[in-house]
Amino acid sequence: MTYFNNAIQTKRELLTRIIKLLKDDELDQKIDRIPLEMRPKSKSPIRCCVHKDRAVIKYKTMAMMGFCVDDEVDELTPLKDYAKAAIKKTSFPSDHLTVVDEACSSCVQVNYTVSNLCQGCEARACQVNCPKDSIRVLNGKAIIDHQTCVNCGLCQKACPFHAIAYLPVPCEEACPVKAIKKNEEGIEVIDASKCIYCGKCMTSCPFGAIMERSQVLQIAHGLKDKQEMVAMVAPAIFGQFKTAPEQLMGALKAIGFTHVMEVAEGADVTAKNETAEWIDFVQRNEPFLTSSCCPSYFLLTDKHLPEIKPMVSHTQTPMYYTAEIAAQRYPNAKRVFIGPCLAKRQEAENSGIVEFVLTFEELNSFFMAYDINLEQTSDELLATSISAEARGFALSGGVAEAIRSSIPNGYAFKEYLVDGLNKKSIKLMKAFTKKTPDYNFVEVMGCEGGCMNGPGNITPFKAGAATLKKMIADQEALKASI
């Protein structure tokens, strides 16, 4: 996943500005000035003109308040009116992504084009190998007729000068289930009936045109209003921030959360229950069981792989079990899941037990808006009862390892890891039921490398994974010394 570029920087600046304005009681007075302040006339425009830039900022701001472009009835409605409506929201739409049409207008609608590297050679390899006669040579340069071109790519392979470039539409290229494509106006449209909310289209868009419909305003209002709220943090959080885990948990208290919990607490319950379910599968001579911790994978089996559905574990996710524990421990608190995953919004909606979902990216904007110095926050001790395997759920292979460590003697556990959902891995999974496998458990991660590489992260995968592994080792050493 791309974790940083200029488009992402714009998004994070917007998030921070919105949260800070609400914290300082200036949302009504200043939110409509955000587009002007971020895109002043004194700076060179990113697009055709400053007015286009400001329109993009406006609609991105709407998305961050939970709206989409289609929610706009009157173009003169100020952003402060949307802010007031957002704060009062008690439910959220099931389409968690929206396309900012003002920002989505630059990607080419053709896949192959001839660059100026063309030498007009005598071989005419591109023309000869084209099965549709879509290439002609004019003034010594090859030209592709995109009306007849079928994007087979044979011309590109044949060209000895590498003069033919493949120009993908990044979001369409990244989507593993073909859930996004251009409409007649050239704007990308997301098909909710196909979308698995993996977030790959969002992170791949070079214009930042695909946005999640955020819940930051509702959460920020709840924190400011001193409502009782419990932060349930996914294990991947300990690879995101350069500070001690205890200080990070303390920082959550500093921005207003009443209670903090590790979702790894629920992961131990998931491991126990999924192990019992796997043993039952083996005893019934079922071919294999697949994990159910990744909501994108769960949506994939629902929408695209019904043949795999009977093999998906019925065990609930760590988020769900943590929310159940939180409901018993803090019955009056609103439960906020904090993690790297976009699809968790869908799971939260379906579960009915989690009120809000916040990404690490959004959490970092809270820290910035609240001027939190992570190195100076009070320590919040971590639970010593949580296993190392539970915290390892954030990495590819972590779920399988947790189950392996829970299985009693006498069972042969053979895992297969699907490390990230993409066109290739989905095609591979379609063949799972057509042959006798030499494995009996399949762990599926929506993101390559696991949750540590999710779309809502702020740290590069390798650095984050190394930090998390060190944290787990340190916690195990601490437990051993007690």
Among 472, 450, 478, 473, which Cα is nearest to 462's?
450
Instruction: With cut-offs at 50, 70 and 90, classify the pLDDT of residue 3.
Output: low
Cα separation, 306 vs 303, in Å, equals 7
pLDDT digits (tens, 9 = 90+) for 123-171: 999 999 999 999 999 999 999 998 899 999 999 999 999 999 998 899 9
Give per-residue pLDDT as tens, 424-461. 999 999 988 888 789 999 999 999 999 999 999 999 99
The reply to whether 112-166 shares the fold of 6-106+170-217 is yes
CATH architecture, range 112-166: 2-Layer Sandwich (3.30)
% of the chain exceeding 70 in pLDDT: 99
**What is the tens place of the pLDDT at every residue in 312-354?**
999 999 999 999 999 999 999 999 999 999 999 999 999 999 9
**CA nearest to 108, candidates 149, 49, 60:** 149
Fold of 226-481: Fe-only Hydrogenase (Larger Subunit); Chain L, domain 3 (3.40.950)
Q: How confident is the model at residue 94 (pLDDT cuts 50, 70, 90)?
A: confident
Distance between CA atoms of residues 155 and 175, nearest Å: 25
**pLDDT-derived band at 1, boundaries 50, 70, 90:** low
The two three-digit tokens of residue 185, written as one number: 């106006």
Is 181 a residue whose pLDDT tops 90? Answer: yes
Tell me if 196 sits within 8 A of 187, measured CB to CB: no
- What are the boundaries of each domain within the chain? 6-106+170-217, 112-166, 226-481
Model pLDDT for residues 399-433, shown as the tens digit of each residue: 999 999 999 888 999 999 999 999 999 999 998 88
**279 Cβ neighbours under 8 A, 6+ residues apart:** 407, 411
Q: According to CATH, what is the number of the domain 6-106+170-217?
A: 3.30.70.20
Q: What is the pLDDT of residues 229-252, one digit of tens each?
A: 999 999 999 999 989 999 999 999
E-only strand ranges, 64-167: 97-99, 112-114, 135-138, 141-144, 164-166
- pLDDT confidence of residue 2: 58
C-alpha–C-alpha distance, residues 357 and 231, integer Å: 10
Q: Please name the amino acid found at residue 253.
A: K
Q: Are 95 and 193 in contact (CB under 8 A)?
A: no
**Do residues 303 and 196 make contact, with C-beta atoms less than 8 angstroms apart?**
yes
Nearest-Å Rg of the Cα atoms of the chain is 25
Burial annotation 189-198 (CB, 10 A radius, 16+ → b, else e): ebeeeebbbb
